[in-house]
Amino acid sequence: MNQENLTADNNLKNTLERLVVDRKRLYGRFEARPHDVDPLDEPSKLPRSLRRFRLKEWVGFTLFHPEISSSMILQEAHYLASSEIYVRDQKGMVEHSRNVKGGSLKLPHVLFPSNPSIAVSGYRIAYDWAEQPTGRHRISVSVDATADQEAITMELELNGANASAPLSVSSPLPGGSMYTHKVAYPASGTVTVGDRTYTFDPTRDLAVLDEHRTILPYRTNWLWGTFAGMTPDGVIGANFAERPIVPGTDEESALWTPGACEPLADITFKQETSDPLSPWKITSADGRLDVTFTPEDRKGVKHQLVVASIDYWQLVGTYTGTVAGYEVKDVRGVCESMRARL
């Protein structure tokens, strides 16, 4: 595929019916999530069944509340499906996970409406998407306590009408491709971990969606972060990444300002020291993003196999600095690193 074909569809307008139109995969930034985002609809010399095993799909949320940090995910690798959830408060990190049969999660390519879920062995996470993006969506979680981890329950309602502008990007990658959709939703309801219940206020607290449909290259590396906060004018925040890209194409970095999602590029991550919990300075080349991330806790996964490996960590903490001229101070967020051979 030549450079002209890669960039011809940038800045596509309005809602698209499909990610693949007339046997052509569309690339660029979209004003809204296409109705159907199945990347396997793109023609290929390889059978669809084989390409499916290279496709990684996930739908997750990161919750922003002044007293807790929390993330959850449903992820489908097709040879294996899994889910993870954590809540971190002043008492520490509570984590749960489950692995299930590959293909069993059936994450929907049409999100509105849908109700993807996992329910197995005292572990249930369910998303209930309304018919329209501007509707009321729900997160329901019921995870039993184990010998060393407390129970987690959640009942949250997400207000699509007051959400941030969507970040919707389709990008070629060296040796692969990516589609991602991200939105920051005002959230109301409760999160309970152990005997502690936290109330979400939609004028203050957010749930940020992270949906991916990605064919990752064999060697995959990225640094990524996100944060967002509510203001009287709307959502202020950012999503930013540093990873190998195809030159001249869009990637997922963006700023959320009231009523807008502004493209961003050329992100630099710099950690102050080698201490795993030392602060990170994160900037964009144009200066519109200039923040310091102060970690509070760290979770990680590390596996070394013969032909595959994963070295992953995610930090939870707070961001302080400026976003497109807006000041942010102690806004909750996450920062993560992935180095893998998959």
Q: What are the residue ranges spanned by the domains of the chain? A: 3-341
End-to-end CA distance of the chain: 24
Residue that the structure tokens 């049969």 belong to: 101
In angstroms, the CA 227 to CA 255 distance is: 10
- Report, in angstroms and rounded to the nearest whole number, the Rg of the chain calculated over CA atoms: 19
Say which residues have a Cβ less than 8 Å from residue 232's Cβ, sequence separation at least 6.
Answer: none
Residues shown for the chain: 342
pLDDT at 2: 37
Measuring CA to CA, how many Å separate 234 from each of 44, 98, 318? 43, 36, 19
In angstroms, the CA 295 to CA 281 distance is: 11
Which two structure tokens, joined as six digits, stand for 233?
A: 């004018």
Closest by CA to 108, choosing from 129, 77, 138, is 129
Q: Which residues pair with 234 in a beta bridge?
A: 231
Which 3 state secondary structure label does DSSP give 74? strand
Cβ 171 vs Cβ 156: under 8 Å = no
Closest by CA to 78, choosing from 44, 52, 116, 39, is 52
Burial (CB count within 10 angstroms: exposed 0-12, middle 13-18, buried 19+), residue 330: exposed
Cβ 25 vs Cβ 170: under 8 Å = yes
pLDDT at 166: 97
pLDDT at 8: 36
Of the pLDDT bands very low, low, confident and very high (cuts 50, 70, 90), residue 310 is: confident
Give the global pTM.
0.92
Of the pLDDT bands very low, low, confident and very high (cuts 50, 70, 90), residue 11 is: very low
**DSSP single-letter state for residue 272:** S
Of the pLDDT bands very low, low, confident and very high (cuts 50, 70, 90), residue 308 is: low
Query: pLDDT digits over 138-164, tens only?
Result: 999 999 999 999 999 999 999 999 999
In angstroms, the CA 93 to CA 155 distance is: 20
Cα diameter, the chain: 57
Secondary structure element (H or E) that encloses residue 6, with its range: helix 3-7
Mean pLDDT of 15-41: 94
Average pLDDT value over all residues in the chain: 92
Q: Is the alpha carbon torsion for 118, 141, 340, 181 positive or negative?
A: positive
Closest by CA to 316, choosing from 227, 229, 212, is 227
Share of the chain above pLDDT 70, in %: 93
Burial (CB count within 10 angstroms: exposed 0-12, middle 13-18, buried 19+), residue 302: exposed
Of the pLDDT bands very low, low, confident and very high (cuts 50, 70, 90), residue 303 is: low
Cβ 336 vs Cβ 299: under 8 Å = no
Q: Is the alpha carbon torsion for 124, 151, 212, 313 positive or negative?
A: negative
Q: Is the alpha carbon torsion for 47, 48, 51, 52 positive or negative?
A: negative
- At 6, the amino acid letter reads L
Residue that the structure tokens 């987690």 belong to: 152
Mean pLDDT of 198-209: 98
